[in-house]
Structure 1
Amino acid sequence: MSFLKSLQAKKRNLKSTETYITSVDGRRFKQTKDEVVEVEKPQYGYVVDTKPDDTPSKIIDHIYLGSQDCCDEKVLREYGITYVLSIGIEAPVQYPNITYKFVECLDLPESDLVISLSECIPFIKRATYENCNILVHCNAGVSRSPSVVVGYLILVEKLSYVDAYNTVKK
């Protein structure tokens, strides 16, 4: 028996499978050997945020860290925040009496945070020197904005990396 005939015989003995494909819009399809059928219940290929994360974390005096959900006027007022630093994603709504700054920064490993820090640190310093509270946020508040706050703590507050990281993590 040739190698090709041997492979074909083994292929016929394989157990049939079903593959589920989820499109960007949440539609799901079941694919078998013979057909592709849309499944009734859509399932998103990402986690749907059903509850806003609108509680900023106080890192040190005057510096708060959070997600874009913290940009709500009620939250800003509750925490006395008058400066908002948006990293990679602009504040969804901008309110009067709040000073805003947007810094472009993609959430990618190859993004150069040194460039972002050079734009962010003067804005954070300005807020803290005026004894004003500042919210530093990105989309979810778990990658870009904490990195910027860690950088600020190292470069301005002169903390070691470990102390800055632990301060933000706490």
Structure 2
Amino acid sequence: MSLLESLQAKKINLKRTETFVTCVDGRKFKETKDSTTEVLRTPYGFVVDMKPDDIPAKITGNLYLGSQDCCEEKILKKYNITYVLSIGIEAPMIYSYIIYKFVQCLDLPETNLRDSLRECIPFIERAKIQSSNVLVHCNAGVSRSASIVIGYLILVEDYSYVDAYNIVKNARNCIKPNTGFEKQLQCLSSSKCNFFM
């Protein structure tokens, strides 16, 4: 038996398989040996992650970072969080025992992070003085809220940009401040004395 005949004989014994492929534009296809058919089209141009991101990352003694999923009552109670700082996306203010603050901030490189930090730092400090836990969140807990927490560590806790970034990254691995925020935070680290003027 030749090599070709041997391979063709093995092909007969292969198990039938279906493969699902999701394209960047959200279309899903089912591929089989004989055909490719469109299965489902989502209205999104990206793959949707349906898993909740509801575990806040502890950054320092009372400072937590997370996504908007962390604003659920059971999560706030579990982590004894009584202050919620919402960056760019407003959390529903439905629990009377929670102190809320909303700060408008777009996740764009040209957004002035200093203005947001000037609003956020006193709120975080208020929670610290009250010995209360504070959650800083945005939509995904990746760019805006992470940048606020890094900025807080630089300006109040006196960390360098690299150290502050690493502390936050080690606690919440998915953080990724946008490029404009990164540059502003690096600049803050070298010019903190001028920040509050």
TM (normalized to structure 2)? 0.66
Q: 1:154 to 1:21 in 2, by over 3 A?
A: closer
> How far 1:49 sits from its partner (Å)?
3.0
Q: Partner residue of 1:78?
A: 78
Provide Cα deviations, 1:77-127, integer angstroms capped at 9, x if missing partner: 000000000000011453110000000000111111000000000000000
CA contact (8 A) 2:83 2:132 kept: yes
Q: Structure 1 vs Structure 2: percent identity of aligned residues? A: 66
3-state SS of the aligned residue for 1:41?
strand
Q: Partner residue of 1:158?
A: 158
Aligned length: 138
Q: Partner residue of 2:100?
A: 100
TM (normalized to structure 1)? 0.76
Q: Which letter does structure 1 place at the counterpart of 2:60?
A: I
Q: Partner residue of 1:140?
A: 140
Gaps of 5+ in 2: 1-22, 29-37, 171-197
Q: Which letter does structure 1 place at the counterpart of 2:41?
A: P
Q: Which letter does structure 2 place at the counterpart of 1:84?
A: V
CA contact (8 A) 2:24 2:46 kept: no
Q: Once superposed, which parts of structure 1, at least 4 consecutive aligned residues long, lie more than 3 Å away?
A: none
Q: Partner residue of 1:167?
A: 167
**CA distance in structure 1 between the partners assigned to 2:94 and 2:62 by the alignment:** 20
1:42 matches 2:41:
yes
Q: 1:27 to 1:168 in 2, by over 3 A?
A: closer
**CA distance in structure 2 between the partners assigned to 1:121 and 1:132 by the alignment:** 15
Q: Partner residue of 2:117?
A: 117
Gaps of 5+ in 1: 1-19, 29-38
**CA distance in structure 2 between the partners assigned to 1:113 and 1:58 by the alignment:** 22
Q: Note the 1:51-70 alignment, pairs <5 A.
A: 51-70=51-70
3-state SS of the aligned residue for 1:136?
strand
Q: Partner residue of 1:17?
A: none
**CA distance in structure 1 between the partners assigned to 2:112 and 2:124 by the alignment:** 19
3-state SS of the aligned residue for 2:41?
coil
**CA distance in structure 2 between the partners assigned to 1:21 and 1:49 by the alignment:** 14
**CA distance in structure 2 between the partners assigned to 1:82 and 1:58 by the alignment:** 14
3-state SS of the aligned residue for 2:83?
strand
**CA distance in structure 1 between the partners assigned to 2:80 and 2:138 by the alignment:** 19
Q: Which letter does structure 2 place at the counterpart of 1:42?
A: R
CA contact (8 A) 1:56 1:65 kept: yes
> How far 1:163 sits from its partner (Å)?
1.2
CA contact (8 A) 1:68 1:92 kept: no
Provide Cα deviations, 1:101-158, integer angstroms capped at 9, x if missing partner: 0000001111110000000000000001111000000000010001000110111111
**CA distance in structure 1 between the partners assigned to 2:93 and 2:27 by the alignment:** 31
Q: CA RMSD in A?
A: 1.9
